[in-house]
Chains A and B, each alone.
Chain A
Amino acid sequence: MELIGKLGEELWTVLLTIARALPYVAGYIVLILAMLALWRAVKRFLRPRHDFGSLKTVTFGDESAVTSNLVASVVSVLLIFVLWGVFTGSRLLPGFLHVPGAFTGEGTFTYTSQAPDGTQDEATVSVRVVPFGTAGELPEVMPGEGFAKDDALLVTAYRSELLRPEDNDEITREDGAQVVAVNGQPIAPDVRVDVGFASVVMTARGTLNVTPDQGWQMEPIWLPSPEAVWTRLTEIASAGFRNVSLAEHLGFSLFRVIVGFLLGALVGIPLGYAMGLSDWFRGWFDPIVEFMRPVPPLALIPLVIIWAGIGEVGKIILLFLAALWIMAIAARAGVSGVRISKVHAAYSLGASKVQIMRHVIIPNSLPEIFTGARVAMGVCWGTVVAAELVAAEKGAGMMIMVASKFQSTDVVIMGIILIGVIGFSIDLLMRWAERVMVPWKGKG
């Protein structure tokens, strides 16, 4: 019961988060539809195509008539970068596209202090907000008249600063004075007053917390602009990261994937063949394979680290295990998928068991094995990055893990993009190899 209550609370949090994201999702969908309308309008001015597909009148529901629209793909990718730039104030975009950024510059507000005897005095606070990562000087102010003296405050954008009236006021809290209004609006602990360029909140102790407007843009520490990531990429590409070159980081990750995958295939394919060809081996290995297959390789990381340490051996064991079951199951499916009439025909044509293996079963299973290899490479790449997140001295995953500890978000994003690009390239390469090596796939 208690558990259900806890889970209910968590679910509520999740739903609230989703609800808060909904306007943004809706905005994105509107953008997609707007682009579609734009494309339709543009298309009317292009020369119409008259191939077989475009002459179909029924396209809704005809899956074969729905091919990926290249324009949509290009616009979609471009839009990601544009949105990224819009919300980070990228210099690559013209300024009018930026959403409002965080306030920087000067502003003033006043507070009213009330002495114990009921007399009130007003003081002006001059605030200077400087961009993140730059130094600034306190604005110069004259103390002014009355017991409440004018103040100066230096704030960094996206941060807040405490204003202590007692620093220079003549009658302070110790004497029983208290701040009663900001810009003429009454204030009390936990009450917020908007002063135009910032918001002022009174703390429980009676000081004023000044937070300049943060605008709609993302703080660089959360999301750096595209050009900042690019600059960091060129920097790391030439100077390396943590005394190791970028090529070495990525090379180590790839090396682990390739060695782990090859070992997995080397053991998994014969294992799958044995399971497909002999009831004894099928019975022997079925429980093991079916049990190990649903265990995600990541769950084995702790055990592998305990047994083999955090060096290359441990990681390659992990990737070997990740690839092993996938390749074994693919090879088994490849053998089971052979049409019995093909085997019968081969026997009737005088082939021996070895010849049937070599000329019928192996070529017949290759398409399945290639499909398995594509899946296994994808899983291995994901696993290596995750394993490097846990423990590694070199590698793509280690790079983003270390960077996150130092809040180098630009390195984290650069790493994520590189990991994605490499994973995608691996898949393209496997697809190309499949086309070249098993052209008969799906033609049986």
Chain B
Amino acid sequence: MSELLIDGLSMRFDLPGGGSVQALKDVTLDLKQGELMSVLGPSGCGKTTLLNIVAGFLAPTSGRVVLAGKPVSGPGRERGMVFQQGALFEWMSVRENVGFGPTMKGMPKAEKRGIVDHLLDVVGLRDFKEKAVYELSGGMQQRVALARCLANDPEVILMDEPLGALDALTREKMQGLVLKLWKETGKTIILITHSVEEALLLGQRLVVMAPRPGRIHREYRLPFAEMGAVTDLREVKKHPEFTQRREEILSMIWDMEEEIMGRTEGV
């Protein structure tokens, strides 16, 4: 079992003009293999900082991240990353993008071709193998990004608002795809999002973070991801418990926003 342990992370950095920012304070989480966790919170609550520390792009000022018993000290292939947009290599074809990880590893061509072809089938881009990535639509590009991440067979997948730039319809389709991939591959996934609905749908566990300092405000265990993996997502969204949770979390986030902004601006 490869367990992801996030242990007492704090992040504090100095500002160029003097003073400092406490981006994260004492964040502790524990993910079992195959868990799907979504992270939600108003902007400035340290969601992305948290993900960057887990990915190994940032070092925390205190605390540690441990994956399968090994402490994380930098980026690595066992923690795959899916970004919002613009992280594909536009000088490579779709096939070369998806095969990037295996190529870096020096995997034999035939084996790599098998993996790439299979994953492009899974994300529904079989006919776009030889296209340049800039010829694809935004949704298709994110499919390529998912496939590229999976081709490396990471233990944990970190998603930083992967569907944030997509239109509503494409977004709904992609949410289904993420759930399907999670069910089929059994990967541990941490997904950051701005959308309450998305956080509810794509989280067995949902962590709501609060800003200033960035910290965990509340955590939920939710049944919707499991439901969504077997039924239509739109049915899940009509579920009374879903709507109730949505309203609850929305008003929670509104309260946080008001706490930050309302005092100065008024609503």
Q: Using a CB–CB distance below 8 Å, which chain A residues touch chain B?
A: 339, 341-342, 344-352, 355, 359-360, 363-364, 366, 438-440, 443-444
Bound-state Cα–Cα, A366 to B89, Å: 13
Q: Decide: A363 near B91, CB < 8 A? Known: A346-B100, A350-B101.
A: yes
- Residues of B within 8 Å of A351, CB to CB, are 100, 104
Bound-state Cα–Cα, A174 to B161, Å: 107
Bound-state Cα–Cα, A374 to B44, Å: 43
**B80 closest partner in A (C-beta):** A348
B104 engages A342 (CB within 8 Å): no
- Residues of A within 8 Å of B100, CB to CB, are 346, 349, 351, 359
- Residues of A within 8 Å of B84, CB to CB, are 341
**B160 closest partner in A (C-beta):** A341
**B135 closest partner in A (C-beta):** A443
- B95 CB within 8 Å of chain A: no
20 contacts between A and B (CB under 8 A): A339-B86, A341-B87, A344-B55, A344-B75, A344-B83, A345-B81, A346-B100, A348-B77, A348-B81, A348-B158, A349-B149, A350-B101, A350-B104, A350-B105, A350-B152, A359-B100, A360-B89, A364-B91, A439-B132, A443-B132
Chain B window 59-86, contacts with chain A (Cβ cutoff 8 Å), 1 for yes, 0 for no: 0000000000000001111011101101
B152 engages A349 (CB within 8 Å): yes
**B78 closest partner in A (C-beta):** A350
| Residue of A349, A438, A439 touching B148 (CB-CB under 8 A) | A349
Bound-state Cα–Cα, A34 to B119, Å: 64
Q: Using C-beta atoms within 8 Å of the partner chain, give the interface range for chain B.
A: 20 to 34
Bound-state Cα–Cα, A349 to B153, Å: 10
Bound-state Cα–Cα, A360 to B103, Å: 13
- B13 CB within 8 Å of chain A: no
Bound-state Cα–Cα, A5 to B198, Å: 75
Count: A-B pairs, CB below 8 Å: 76
A339-B86, A347-B57 known, 17 other contacts, Cβ within 8 Å: A341-B87, A344-B81, A345-B87, A347-B56, A347-B75, A348-B55, A349-B80, A350-B76, A351-B104, A359-B100, A360-B89, A363-B91, A366-B91, A440-B90, A440-B91, A440-B134, A444-B134
- Minimum CB–CB distance for A313 against chain B, Å: 38
Bound-state Cα–Cα, A352 to B76, Å: 10
- Minimum CB–CB distance for A437 against chain B, Å: 10
- Residues of A within 8 Å of B105, CB to CB, are 350
Bound-state Cα–Cα, A202 to B46, Å: 94
- Residues of A within 8 Å of B86, CB to CB, are 339, 341-342, 444
Which 10 pairs of residues, A with B, have the shortest CB-CB distance? A350-B77, A443-B134, A347-B75, A363-B91, A341-B87, A349-B101, A348-B81, A440-B90, A345-B87, A341-B83
| Residue of B74, B83, B154 touching A345 (CB-CB under 8 A) | B83
- Residues of B within 8 Å of A350, CB to CB, are 76-77, 101, 104-105, 152
- Residues of A within 8 Å of B83, CB to CB, are 341, 344-345
A444 engages B90 (CB within 8 Å): yes
A342 engages B134 (CB within 8 Å): no
A349 engages B87 (CB within 8 Å): no
Q: Decide: A339 near B89, CB < 8 A? Known: A350-B152, A440-B132.
A: no
Bound-state Cα–Cα, A155 to B105, Å: 89
Bound-state Cα–Cα, A439 to B131, Å: 12
Bound-state Cα–Cα, A347 to B154, Å: 13
Q: Decide: A359 near B76, CB < 8 A? Known: A344-B55, A350-B152.
A: no
- Residues of A within 8 Å of B152, CB to CB, are 349-350
**B82 closest partner in A (C-beta):** A345
- Residues of B within 8 Å of A366, CB to CB, are 91
Interface centre among B57, B104, B105, B148 (most CB of A within 10 A): B104
Bound-state Cα–Cα, A342 to B100, Å: 12
Bound-state Cα–Cα, A363 to B89, Å: 9
- Residues of A within 8 Å of B79, CB to CB, are 348
**A345 closest partner in B (C-beta):** B87
**A344 closest partner in B (C-beta):** B57
Bound-state Cα–Cα, A347 to B84, Å: 17
Bound-state Cα–Cα, A325 to B56, Å: 36
- Residues of B within 8 Å of A342, CB to CB, are 86-89
Bound-state Cα–Cα, A443 to B87, Å: 12
- Residues of A within 8 Å of B81, CB to CB, are 344-345, 348
**B148 closest partner in A (C-beta):** A349
**A438 closest partner in B (C-beta):** B91
- Minimum CB–CB distance for B214 against chain A, Å: 20
